[in-house]
Structure 1
Amino acid sequence: MTTLALTRTHFRYLLLENLRVPIAVGSAAIFPALSLLFFVVPFGYGDDSVAATSAVVQLAVFGVLSSFLFTFGVGVADDREHAWDPYVRTLPAAATPRIAGRLLTGFVFALIAIVPVTVVGAALTSATTTPLRFLAGLVAMLVAGLPFLLGGLTVGYSLPVKAALPVTQLIFFPLAFGGGLFLPPQLFPVWLQTVSQLLPSRGARDIVVWAVQGIAPSVLTVVAFAGWVVVTAALAGWAYRRDEGRRFR
């Protein structure tokens, strides 16, 4: 089989495997929409289109980052504890199709995660954008999720599943708050605003806000985000090689 055919096979297998557990898919998609419904819609965002759009974007980013971190962190750790994954990794085929199939699966579920929050935001708030900016926002969300995708791979290839779940939770929720995914960062005290600009979650938020609303992020935020992509990519590569060396030498 060609690399493309193998990638399609892995993608189809992983997609079906995840779809067979609807609660895992639904929880990642429903939580941001419920947060928007209960904590944004009732509190005066209806007449402020800029604030409403930012709120919808923040919670959509929350859904994407959560999907990436948990899909790759917990999902990879769980796969490593089943016999099928070690068997596949011993076959005479490159790792690229398997990894590409997993990445494509993560992208699909990340996009699924933003559907409910987008529908609620469009129906119950004054959030607005143009079709072109909406499409740009979708692309920006996938780029914005890179540190969390790579961080998830690092966790997944480094820890057993019993440790991966609490570790991803401990990592994600402080980053989500500090990155302004729950509250607008403009409401933070000065010291927290400075710290926030150094977090990958703040960079992710600001990049998508930039794509959807045209509000440019600070230079510090962009530089810090790029640094996080480089660092998490290096960590993910190290974790994969470490796992390969320990289990298959």
Structure 2
Amino acid sequence: MPELVVAHTRLFLLEQLRVPVGLLASSLFPAISMVAFVVPFAGDDPRAATMATGSMMFFGAMAGTLVNLSITVAQDRELPWNPYLRTLPAGPVPRFTGRILAALAGTLVSVVPVLLVAAFLTEATTTPLRLLLGLGALVVGVVPFMLMGLFIGSVMSAKAAIAASQVLFFPMAIVGGLLLPPAILPDFIEVVSPYVPTRGVAELLWAVTAGTTPNAVALISLAGWTVVAAIAAAWAYRRDEGRRFS
């Protein structure tokens, strides 16, 4: 089983390298946003720049998980090769594990441009330990968005998955405070924000990298979203398997 997981992970990593558009988008867009909006307006404030760096790191990571996973899973379901793989004795675990590990690797790569912008163009500051904790929080934080991507990809066609993932991605980024600080959000958005999963991840990143006090409601909400997303992804996979193989 471990050998199959490694083989599938290598396959998905090679696919990302051969068609690197998704990886480039999730890496460069947050860095460009940092240069355009964070550097001129918050680059001289160490605390604000550090928090913005955490937000932009997660912005790119969410694009690489929620959007890319939903599209690639949906595309796989439309290929003749995928149903054949699901009939093999190894089952779906090696392929799903390999896809998730490849997505996590892409997530870690996507934060590099943001960290470089923060290091050379802003006054953002943190310790090596806090940076490592931030990367760990990022990996934990993208789990519910991976599960959402798996759910969307398992119930929709590739074209529909593109639209659905984008419709979820940008509103959650805005309401969760990734693009604008929560303090300057409109009152009605600020009320809803702690209940959006993106806000919970942002609070976790801000706490471990900038030393802020996290919003407890946002963290509890994130845990709830993770459970719901896991149940939904498992249901969607079994539903798809039952419709196509029973």
Q: TM-score, normalised by structure 1?
A: 0.96
Counterpart for residue 48 of structure 2: 51
Report which stretch shifted further, 158-167 or 80-89: 80-89
Counterpart for residue 18 of structure 1: 16
Query: 1:93-147 CA distances to partner (integer Å, 9 max, x unpaired)?
Result: 1321111111101101111111111111111000010000000000000111111
Q: Indicate whether 1:34 and 2:40 are aligned.
A: no
Q: Indicate whether 1:158 and 2:152 are aligned.
A: no
Conserved 8 A contact 2:201-2:219? no
Amino acid corresponding to residue 229 of structure 1 in structure 2: T
Conserved 8 A contact 2:134-2:209? yes
In 2, distance between residues paired with 1:70 and 1:113?
14
Counterpart for residue 130 of structure 1: 127
User: Which aligned pairs between 1:179-194 and structure 2 lie closer than 5 A?
Assistant: 179-194=176-191
From 61, 66, 81, give the equivalent of 1:64.
61
How many residues align structurally? 246
In 1, distance between residues paired with 2:77 and 2:116?
36
In 1, distance between residues paired with 2:77 and 2:213?
41
SS of 2:118's partner is helix
Amino acid corresponding to residue 177 of structure 1 in structure 2: I
Unmatched 5+ residue regions in structure 1? none
Q: Indicate whether 1:240 and 2:237 are aligned.
A: yes
Q: TM-score, normalised by structure 2?
A: 0.97
Counterpart for residue 220 of structure 1: 217
Counterpart for residue 114 of structure 2: 117
In 2, distance between residues paired with 1:24 and 1:71?
7
Tell me how far 1:47 sits from its aligned partner.
2.1
SS of 1:24's partner is helix
List 4+ stretches of structure 1 deviating above 2 A: none
> CA RMSD of the aligned region, Å?
1.0
In 2, distance between residues paired with 1:46 and 1:8?
41
Amino acid corresponding to residue 17 of structure 2 in structure 1: L
From 194, 203, 212, give the equivalent of 2:200.
203
Unmatched 5+ residue regions in structure 2? none
In 2, distance between residues paired with 1:145 and 1:24?
16
Counterpart for residue 174 of structure 2: 177
In 1, distance between residues paired with 2:133 and 2:144?
19
Amino acid corresponding to residue 214 of structure 2 in structure 1: P
Same amino acid, percent of matched pairs? 46
